[in-house]
A and B are shown apart, each in its own frame.
Chain A
Amino acid sequence: MTDPLALDPVLPERERSRLPFNEDRPHDDRYRAFEDHVLAGGKVEAGDWMPDEYRTSVLRFVEMHANSELMGVLPERDWILRAPTLRRKLALTAKIQDEVGHAQLLYRVAEDLGKPREAMIDDLLAGRTKFHNVFHYPTRTWADIGVIAWLVDAAAIVAQQALRDSSYAPYARTMKKICWEESVHIMHGRDVVVTLAEGTPEQRAMVQEALDRWWPPLMQMHGPRSEREKDRDLHWRIKAKTSEELRQEFLTIYVPRVLELGLSLPDPELHLDAAAGQWRYTEPDWAELRSVVTGHGPASEARIRFRRVQREESRWVRETILVAGGAAA
């Protein structure tokens, strides 16, 4: 297999130094040259000069992504012990391991932009930075594990695939690796859901109940519609698609796949408006989204508290590594 990180090789140092914004010029010239470069589809490397606004935007974006990977392991982690077969347990452990690995990669990308990992974790645990809404909800049954691995990861991958062409090259490269691994998770998740949907009436009811519960947060996950022109992350090509474009893409791929299993979706308004080529749906509860991502979701406090306790209990281990000359956690 091709190593995804080997694609898109970084320009040699000498060529990068010839990029106009890397030359010693007045700030406004540099800013313009940088903007021209990025708007023309050019890539930015960690060592390039970049406007503070760009650096801050990329950092905020990547940091939230890293936080989401780190917090996203908790809902599933509770089920490693309860996975009902050897194969399921192996698949779930491997999936969560991937997510911890993603957090590690993303925190490194963010660290290169100037914020140490410890500071990012401090901010996360103090509620100063955010993580994705879906990780603020509790898991109640084994079916949740299937729905999360299939549909939450699918919604995430739709967004992440659009980030493989991010103007910030280290992030784009990381996304290529992550997308590949996420596609394996989706297969595991779908297999869990299919097994339950084809199982006993109780198993089928279990997976339908989980789907009903997860659907509203899934519809909120990409965020409210926003104007393309006003979105600075789009302007800088940090991301490529609007929230609504991502949601439409998710619905186009996954609604038929859910329905073909004989499962239903809990939104009577949900349908494809063929003439407009758009999915119509009941307006998601944006007040719930805002409340949840600011730490007021049903499991927000418990998850943050759990992480804080774990971090405190193992502080002595990290200090041991630090003294030995290793990296900080």
Chain B
Amino acid sequence: MTARAERPPGIEPGLGPATRELLLALADDDFVLGFADSEWTGIAPHLEEDVAMSSMAQDELGHASAYYRLLADLVSDDPDRIAYDRPAEAFRHNRLVDHGRGDWARTMVRRWLYDTANAIRLEALAESTSRPLAELVVKVRREESYHLLHGEAWLDRLARHRGEPRRRLVEAIELVGPDAPSVLTALPSEAVLIDSGIQPVPGADLLARWSARIEPVLAGLGLSLPAASPAALDPDTARSGHGAAFNRLWTEFSSVRALDPEATW
């Protein structure tokens, strides 16, 4: 693939680094979640769920590709190079998706928490002053609505099954829940994004909207979200310092390309 040199309309010169940070966050979130979900392909608990999970993984990867493409246009680079040829520590996905695949309960909880938070974030970004971003977000939201339904159905099903399903669900919420707010935590350069309207709503407001939306659902099932971890709320740590699970994933997904990063694959 060749990199395109023209700057897309709607992104002002000078906003480069902040916009880059936002697009990278959006892209890496979907990329890493898509990877984790695709680990179920072929081995999900049920053939029908296997097919559904593969579909969602492909949606996430498709969205990640589109964000990487926008970013590649902005910095005159190639989407695959951005996606694959960075060191592990340069990835800017949130702490929630840093938790490895785990069991089915953890996968469903991680999906649901991410999908609900992402929906709040995309709802706001649909009003972005960056036209290419706003247009892309409209497309992404259409596909995400199915994911939300799927996640909510599983949350409900596991919560209502006393015994092992509910126990596993509660364990998963306790494990990954504290990191979930990191999806919406302000980016380090949020001030610039807000001033330019590229990001119309600050992270703190998004977090409040998200809580207001998910808390009643959880309460209705006799569940609650544990307190956020300090690292998840700190702009400097919400999307960095990825742990061992991500390092393993990174080593794996970059292994073929690492044979010859200059070759065409």
Q: Residues of A with Cβ closer than 8 Å to B?
A: 73-74, 77, 80-90, 93-94, 96-97, 99-101, 103-104, 107, 142, 195, 199-200, 202-203, 307, 310, 313-318, 320-321, 323-324, 327, 329
Contacts and interface: CB of A to CB of B under 8 A. Distances in A.
Given A80-B41, A81-B252, A142-B256, A203 B263 contact: yes
Contact of A199 (B41, B51, B79, B264): B264
Contacts of A107: 47
B263 A321 contact: no
Given A86-B79, A97-B54, A317 B260 contact: no
B158 interface: yes
A300 B49 CA distance: 25
Given A142-B256, A313-B103, 19 more contacts: A73-B41, A77-B41, A80-B41, A81-B38, A84-B84, A85-B80, A87-B65, A93-B41, A93-B54, A93-B61, A94-B54, A96-B54, A101-B51, A195-B264, A199-B264, A200-B263, A318-B46, A324-B161, A329-B47
Contact of B249 (A74, A81, A87, A321): A81
Contact of A314 (B104, B161, B253): B104
Given A82-B256, A195-B264, A316-B168, A100 B41 contact: yes
Given A81-B252, A100-B50, A324-B157, A89 B41 contact: no
Contacts of A103: 47
29 contacts: A77-B41, A80-B39, A80-B41, A81-B39, A81-B249, A81-B252, A81-B253, A85-B80, A85-B84, A86-B61, A86-B65, A87-B65, A89-B61, A93-B38, A93-B41, A97-B58, A100-B41, A100-B54, A103-B47, A104-B47, A107-B47, A202-B260, A203-B260, A313-B103, A314-B43, A314-B104, A317-B45, A320-B157, A321-B157
B107 to A, nearest CB: 10
Nearest to B80: A85
Contacts of B45: 314-315, 317-318, 321, 329
A329 B51 CA distance: 12
Contacts of A85: 80, 84, 257, 265
Interface in B130-175: 157-158, 161, 164-165, 168
A262 B175 CA distance: 54
Nearest to A108: B47
Contacts of A318: 45-46
B259 interface: yes
A276 B24 CA distance: 62
Contacts of B259: 202
A320 B49 CA distance: 13
Nearest to A104: B47
Interface string B46-75: 111111001101100110110010000000
B42 interface: yes
Interface string B88-104: 00000000000000011
A96 to B, nearest CB: 5
B49 to A, nearest CB: 8
B257 A84 contact: yes
B192 to A, nearest CB: 28
Contacts of A200: 260, 263
Nearest to B78: A85
Contacts of A81: 35, 38-39, 249, 252-253
B255 interface: yes
A327 B84 CA distance: 40
B57 to A, nearest CB: 6
A176 B65 CA distance: 32
- Residue from B44, B45, B58 whose CB has the most chain A CB atoms within 10 Å: B45
B181 to A, nearest CB: 28
A320 B57 contact: no
A80 B61 CA distance: 12
B80 A86 contact: yes
Q: Which 7 residue pairs spanning A and B have beta carbons closest together? A: A314-B45, A97-B54, A317-B45, A73-B42, A84-B265, A77-B42, A84-B256
Contacts of A77: 41-43
Contacts of B257: 84-85
Contacts of A80: 38-39, 41
B47 A100 contact: yes
Contacts of B58: 90, 93-94, 97
